[in-house]
A = this chain, B = another copy of it.
Amino acid sequence: MTLYKQATIIGFGLIGSSVARALRENGVCEIIVACDADPDCLAKVQELKLADRCSGDAAEAVRGSDLVVLATPVGTYGDIGKAIAPSLDFGTTVTDVGSVKGCVLKALQPVLPEHVHLIPGHPVAGTEQSGPEAGFASLFAGRWAILTPPEDTDPDALKKLTRMWEAFGSKVEVMTPEHHDLVLAITSHIPHLIAYNIVGTAHDLEGVTDSEVIKFSAGGFRDFTRIAASDPTMWRDVFLNNKEAVLEMLGRFSEDLTALQRAIRWGDGETLFNLFSHTRDVRKQIIEAGQDEEAPDFGRPHDTATRK
């Protein structure tokens, strides 16, 4: 079902290239235009035949498109908005896939023309890898896509964008940018921050060598390094642009950690056991909600043939 005539995707990394694949796979638009500042990336896009047209110039790339998707780090939105504003057609929908939403309206509303539909979005899906090769069409299937439309958003434009995500297999939820940034601070931003942090801590120890950390990482550490392998620029911009919510959640996390620290110091096994038991229920709910697999191997390939 064709929803858009021509879609321009600016930023062809993991998410941008996955959107392109999903658009084509589900016949959501007729023409796909790829835009990326990195010539090597565009060469890869051409090699993989992910787009009908490629351009390094955003203003040129959006010409004639009725859908524009920003898939670059959120810190770049302001400049991109200024660059594309003059060449945006009347009634074009401009959306994005950034992990922070409050800053998107602040950056784009002042620079985009009145005659486009600005509807920020965020597909809560991804992997720890980056680049156009890393994307795949089914990345959004079964995941949630959050849209944060301004109050005066055109209902038809919103309906159309909703149907695009549904065509990708996503479930769509509409909320305010402020609430999005609070929810994602705890479900995504803080998990990434503490994963990045412990990898740093492990590196700086004098009593334990780096090679020991690597060798014995299967005890849990390696799973944090997977989360902490995500794109550095993207994550820097997330934390710089969701400061308040992240600091608020970080404060609560640290409070709770201090309480656990106290329980360990005083040998309060009951407090530890109660928390450790509760977390199993949360895990069960996530699996029941289809947001994770039950497979019991911390993410190693499920080679049941090797199981005896």
Which of A's residues lie within 8 Å of B, judged by CB?
21, 25, 99, 124-129, 134, 136-138, 141, 143-144, 146, 173, 179, 182-184, 186-205, 207-208, 210, 212-230, 232-233, 235-237, 239-240, 243, 246-247, 249-250, 252-254, 256-258, 260-261, 264-265, 267, 269, 272-273, 275-280, 282-283, 285-286, 289, 291-293, 295-302, 306-308
Contacts and interface: CB of A to CB of B under 8 A. Distances in A.
Contact of A220 (B187, B203, B233): B187
A124 B219 contact: yes
Of A184, A188, A223, A302, the most chain B CB neighbours within 10 A belong to: A223
Question: What's the number of copies of this chain in the assembled complex?
Answer: 2
6 contacts: A136-B307, A186-B198, A205-B249, A223-B299, A228-B279, A237-B269
Contact of A218 (B144, B232, B246): B144
A167 to B, nearest CB: 14
A183 B202 CA distance: 9
Given A221-B186, A308-B136, A200 B286 contact: no
A191 B261 contact: no
Contacts of A137: 306-308
